[in-house]
Chains A and B, each alone.
Chain A
Amino acid sequence: MKTSPLCKQWLYVLFAIMIAQSVFATEIVKVSRQSSYQLMTAENQAMQDDLNLNPALFWLMDGHSIWKEKTGNKNVSCASCHGDSGKKMSGAATQFPKILRGKLQTLEGQINQCRVSQQDAPALTYESKELLALTTFVANQSKGMPITIQETPLNTKDLQQGKQFFNERMGQLNLSCAQCHQDRASLKLGGSLIPQGHSTAYPIYRIEWQTMGSLQRRLRNCMSGVRAKQFEYGSTEMAQLELYLMWRASGMPLETPGVRP
């Protein structure tokens, strides 16, 4: 049977739609993605936007002092290599987690890696004030820049593993991340809206915590919420889940330091 050219074009369009649907069946379509910033009250949004109100400013300032402080057996500071202002770090946070020397490294992991190998200083404890301050300072240099995580032959294995963690049911409540933050995003859990779970603003000042916290702290929060065994801080599993979340948020602007309720 002969098909007219117009008919053929329609067939192509139909095919394209079918392929697109199979790809996005479980993913949130890129145009409708939303940072949980948009779910916050005007007061909390103002707190994030105005650095005079944002308590994360203190961590930024602390981070900048640690950045310039000489330490370790080699007596060098971050600034000795990367410059005083930290501006050279612009864009760095948009690329993490990243494969470096064959290992998946988070931003925190990379800061510690640099401390151990370049400064010959002990690694900072995960979730310590110092590490949070440095991470906030470095990530803030990329504020407003889009997250650039792409799937590459190097990271594909970790990305797929992260995706599996995201979709895998866990804990006594037997829930996966996806069941709330994908399938039920923008519905309500208790009194609050369920966010889509894009990791665009970390480290965040969380009002509930009364302090800064990393993405891994937030993830552990959810894991204990569903009564699952939490992934360890700085573990490979965490890095893989982080990688998947950042890939999922790819293209969205980084907001660090964010404020969340």
Chain B
Amino acid sequence: MSKASRTGITAPTNAKKDSIIEIRAIAQHDMETGFRYTEDGKRIPRDIIRLFSCRYNNEEVFRADFYSGIGANPLIIFTTVAIASGTIECRWIGDNGYEAVNQVNITVS
């Protein structure tokens, strides 16, 4: 898995203060389980995302541990409350030094 994998975050650009907003985060990743073998019987080493976390204005609002059972290109949808304008930053950390960061801006009125 290349370290420069693509990620995407979908969140509203504008929201009313104290409203519930939906955030969708998807990362391009093979999520190789480590339980599969090649045709000549060699084990394919595990290569998965281990941790996903989302910070809203530098405060963690969501965190999830990922395991082998999670499919490729994982999509995670969660909600939070729009508190103030600022940035929503998502971070994916995984095996073999995988790390991807992406962020979007939100304006709260």
Contacts and interface: CB of A to CB of B under 8 A. Distances in A.
Given A52-B24, A210-B31, A57 B8 contact: yes
Contacts of A53: 24, 26, 75
A125 to B, nearest CB: 16
Nearest to A55: B73
A261 to B, nearest CB: 12
Contacts of A55: 26, 28, 72-73, 75
Interface residues of A, number: 10
B6 A61 contact: yes
Contacts of B75: 53, 55
Where chain B touches its partner, the secondary structure class is loop
A132 to B, nearest CB: 13
A57 B71 CA distance: 16
A210 B72 contact: yes
Contacts of B28: 55, 58
Interface string B17-51: 00000001010101100000000000000000000
B73 A210 contact: yes
Interface string A48-61: 00001101011001
A190 B30 CA distance: 29
B79 interface: no
B80 interface: no
A117 interface: no
B87 interface: no
A58 to B, nearest CB: 4
Interface in A40-95: 52-53, 55, 57-58, 61-62
